[in-house]
Chains A and B, each alone.
Chain A
């Protein structure tokens, strides 16, 4: 390992601009003649639009135009779509209702866009938006999946009878039933996974610019995947052909999944720019973000887990209701199916698994992937069930997990996934040792002296990252391939640009990817630039989500580097009159192995571009492109243990310690990986203790600001104790598994298991607020 190569704790190159406030975000962008947009949004959860009168608004100061969905439709702009086809168990395709970018006849959640106002200033646009008079005829609303699927519930889309989008299953139901019937013990539990708002620090924003002379559009947007945005806006929404639409996602201040999707605002601002003849910028305020960013989670599940007399898990049966909100967001259908139920084997050898998932429309904002996307739901369900079973069986929770661990790899689960490698015992042992598991009882007694209830809880998680083999996901319904691309451009003086289809919105790619180049070619980090986020600069790529940029994005860079290295060696061999096979790259030079003959990297690069003396028939230049399609998912796993203290008088939980023992495969920059784990754990603790979206019965969003939606703060979390236990991933060239979501996936059950252990009552739901914990304590 060099000072800047793979494994080095290099400080992030991008942090200087972020920390000094010099980042360039979408809202920082300004173009000549730019004006501002405000949206008129539905105040009702479910209503018919009877009329829209914009005459007063149009006459207000600074107003350039007020546009509605009817005009948008007349101009041929299409509806939003969900890009992953799921079939119900009876073979019928999912029932997708129409999602108009601006509602023309029916609004289906509070915040549904109805009209856009473009004005000289942000304030004028907002003033005029308030003056647009929309008449509604209110309809009954339904908020939860459970209620939406009840007979007689308000019908939300004509396409989906009874609000049922699909009724899907995976696994062998009769085998699972048989295991349960023959079990020595069956643990039954109902699991609620609370609805969350992603809350990236930067709210969504977009700037749409139409160039009349060129008939060309530019869209600056807060996206995790600008190429996918261009593809979808072009192919499905008819905004413009791809060659006439440039999408730029500059610095993006956090995504967490919520910025994967195409939202109505990008489409509308591009279209409005053409209609009004001015560039149109829109930036969400925080309440707009709470109202309109895709939410996450929101599952209700019934679980049965069967054990034989030796406490081995023999079967698992799960029924899940998932709330997808008012419309099907871009990847919403895949989250409670292939990203969820395929992980229900966890770290355990379970012969029979069956899961049935029903998804429902409701009068709430759409629900889609949020950090972890399906895998946190599977992990929370499994790890709370196993913990509950251990208590029922009178077995130490660690022991129950240990005797059920998968120990041989590859391991084919009954729910599609084929785990390539792992060492679950190693991470369990490491976490138990780090927390001093044996010393817990003494610590509990010490807490009791102070009137506090101390609890310990663990979670052994596995997840699937590196999304994903294109043919495999295609066969499961994905509308896109999930490969990644890279181009490595060596300049004439030897400096390097890497153009990646991945997108960094906090992950530190500008550092990590440069470390890979340094490791391979010996070029200093300062001479390597990572280019991303602009469809005019970078070849087609699939973006960043699902912890895929290391395992997939960097694998593409490796492939491109292989080609660059190959050509560089050919040039060097020619210059040094040596055999190509004898050339090695060391310390910024290409050397003939075992001799003192060498040519500096920059000189070789210059030779490639002067082309005065290249091997016979070789093309000038040094620039290579590669596309990498993964062969399998990757499977990060690990063990988390939390120790908490509950104040029985108030029910308040304090997380005293949190130990994380993770297996992410090989690691490029341990400091960045630890940062990802810290952030993930904090989001997971937020879900477990603090965060929860609340709609009232009429569909009004009650948690529409930080006065009511509780984000974790620094004093809510302990100083984390993180360690790595590596089994390299055999499926990609760098042996990487991925680390971006693990913390958020693995931590919620550890926290809840610790609380229920502390208070001796298993009936606690997330977020485990002081009131809920106090009520559980006093319920006995």
Chain B
């Protein structure tokens, strides 16, 4: 690891101020991506701004709107009765991220800000029609994830919370990469006030995406059978040493059906 200077932010504003004054600064929350990257010398921020003490943790339900603070850990989301009732698919997804160590350190804000194409949370945000709250504005999930490790976040802008409409009919099915156990393909299906939305992570060449054909099929008949005949288009999917685009296309269909079954 290269030397770095650690700063502890006391609030989101404080974090933004620190980021504005420090050169080569990075926000860190659970550090489950950034710290390993620093240890292997693949990332070298001069300044590290810790968000864990900025008062951005917690889960609340206001009417039909679930709000999850950015530094809420995966374990907290997975173990929350509120999330389990309001959005069971989201709790299930969180319970399968990484391993217990990762789930007790990693945070929802960190995951979506990093937007790893194989991370689990982006699919839930997209499928649930979440709103990403930052220190500057609110961004619809549809506009937030812009490419591989790319988001709509501007310099110095940080995610403070996620707002998710409650969705009882939500489910997630993941086929993990055997080595890393990130999603080789993960599909989140939600049927709620926004209609049926199907979002796929781990497979797309440009990161998380919505599978509109499956959404249409499931809108007319919400059952695993409705998608069993569908085949995802492999042309926009990733190929790597673990899985070809064709194989991922198969997994997209299979995991979609399994996510639907998880809801039933």
A706 & B180 in contact (Cβ 8 Å cutoff): yes
Interface residues on B, range: 10 to 19
Q: Does A703 interact with chain B (Cβ within 8 Å)?
A: yes
Please give me the residue from chain A that is nearest to B185 by CB atom: A650
A709 & B179 in contact (Cβ 8 Å cutoff): yes
A771 & B179 in contact (Cβ 8 Å cutoff): no
Which chain A residues lie closer than 8 Å to B251 at the CB level?
650
> Which of A702, A707, A775 is within 8 Å of B180, CB to CB?
A707
Chain B proximity of A600: nearest CB distance (Å): 54
Which chain A residues lie closer than 8 Å to B101 at the CB level?
none
* Interchain CA distance A651-B185 in the complex, whole Å: 14
> Which of B41, B180, B242, B254 is within 8 Å of A769, CB to CB?
B242
Which chain A residues lie closer than 8 Å to B146 at the CB level?
none
Please give me the residue from chain B that is nearest to A775 by CB atom: B247
Which chain B residues lie closer than 8 Å to A769 at the CB level?
178, 242
Using a CB-CB cutoff of 8 Å, which residues 21-51 of chain B contact chain A? Answer: 40-41
Using a CB-CB cutoff of 8 Å, which residues 759-773 of chain A contact chain B? Answer: 769-771
Q: Does A649 interact with chain B (Cβ within 8 Å)?
A: yes
B244 & A707 in contact (Cβ 8 Å cutoff): no
A126 & B180 in contact (Cβ 8 Å cutoff): no
> What number of A residues sit within 8 Å (CB to CB) of B?
26
Q: Does A774 interact with chain B (Cβ within 8 Å)?
A: yes
B178 & A770 in contact (Cβ 8 Å cutoff): yes
Please give me the residue from chain B that is nearest to A651 by CB atom: B247
B241 & A708 in contact (Cβ 8 Å cutoff): yes
* Interchain CA distance A126-B251 in the complex, whole Å: 42
B241 & A123 in contact (Cβ 8 Å cutoff): no
* Interchain CA distance A707-B40 in the complex, whole Å: 13
Using a CB-CB cutoff of 8 Å, which residues 685-735 of chain A contact chain B? Answer: 690, 694, 702-703, 705-711
Which chain A residues lie closer than 8 Å to B250 at the CB level?
649-650, 774
B40 & A287 in contact (Cβ 8 Å cutoff): yes
Q: Does B3 interact with chain A (Cβ within 8 Å)?
A: yes
Chain B proximity of A482: nearest CB distance (Å): 37
Q: Does A319 interact with chain B (Cβ within 8 Å)?
A: no
A690 & B241 in contact (Cβ 8 Å cutoff): no
Chain B proximity of A514: nearest CB distance (Å): 37
Which chain B residues lie closer than 8 Å to A126 at the CB level?
41
> Which of A285, A690, A774 is within 8 Å of B178, CB to CB?
A690
Q: Does B243 interact with chain A (Cβ within 8 Å)?
A: yes
Which chain B residues lie closer than 8 Å to A651 at the CB level?
247
Please give me the residue from chain B that is nearest to A122 by CB atom: B1
Q: Does A188 interact with chain B (Cβ within 8 Å)?
A: no
Q: Does A420 interact with chain B (Cβ within 8 Å)?
A: no
Which chain A residues lie closer than 8 Å to B149 at the CB level?
none
Please give me the residue from chain B that is nearest to A287 by CB atom: B40
* Interchain CA distance A289-B119 in the complex, whole Å: 27
Q: Mark B239-263, 1 if CB is under 8 A from A, else 0.
A: 0011110010011001000000000
B241 & A694 in contact (Cβ 8 Å cutoff): yes
Whether A707 touches B243, Cβ cut-off 8 Å, given contacts A126-B41, A287-B40, A774-B250, is: no
Q: Mark A625-657, 1 if CB is under 8 A from B, else 0.
A: 000000000000000000000000111100000
Chain B proximity of A40: nearest CB distance (Å): 14
Whether A649 touches B247, Cβ cut-off 8 Å, given contacts A127-B2, A287-B40, A703-B241, is: no
* Interchain CA distance A287-B3 in the complex, whole Å: 20
Q: Mark A208-243, 1 if CB is under 8 A from B, else 0.
A: 000000000000000000000000000000000000
Whether A702 touches B178, Cβ cut-off 8 Å, given contacts A127-B2, A774-B250, A775-B247, is: no
A interface, CB within 8 angstroms of B? 123, 126-127, 130, 285, 287, 649-652, 690, 694, 702-703, 705-711, 769-771, 774-775
13 additional A-B residue pairs with CB within 8 Å, beyond A650-B254, A702-B241: A123-B2, A130-B41, A285-B40, A287-B40, A652-B175, A705-B40, A707-B179, A707-B180, A709-B179, A710-B179, A769-B242, A770-B175, A771-B243
Q: List 22 A-B contacts (CB under 8 A).
A: A123-B3, A127-B2, A285-B40, A650-B250, A650-B254, A652-B175, A690-B178, A690-B179, A703-B241, A705-B40, A706-B179, A706-B180, A708-B179, A710-B178, A769-B178, A770-B175, A770-B178, A771-B242, A771-B243, A774-B247, A774-B250, A775-B247
B interface, CB within 8 angstroms of A? 1-3, 40-41, 175, 178-180, 241-244, 247, 250-251, 254
Those 6 A-B pairs whose CB atoms lie nearest each other, nearest first: A710-B179, A707-B180, A771-B247, A649-B254, A710-B178, A694-B241
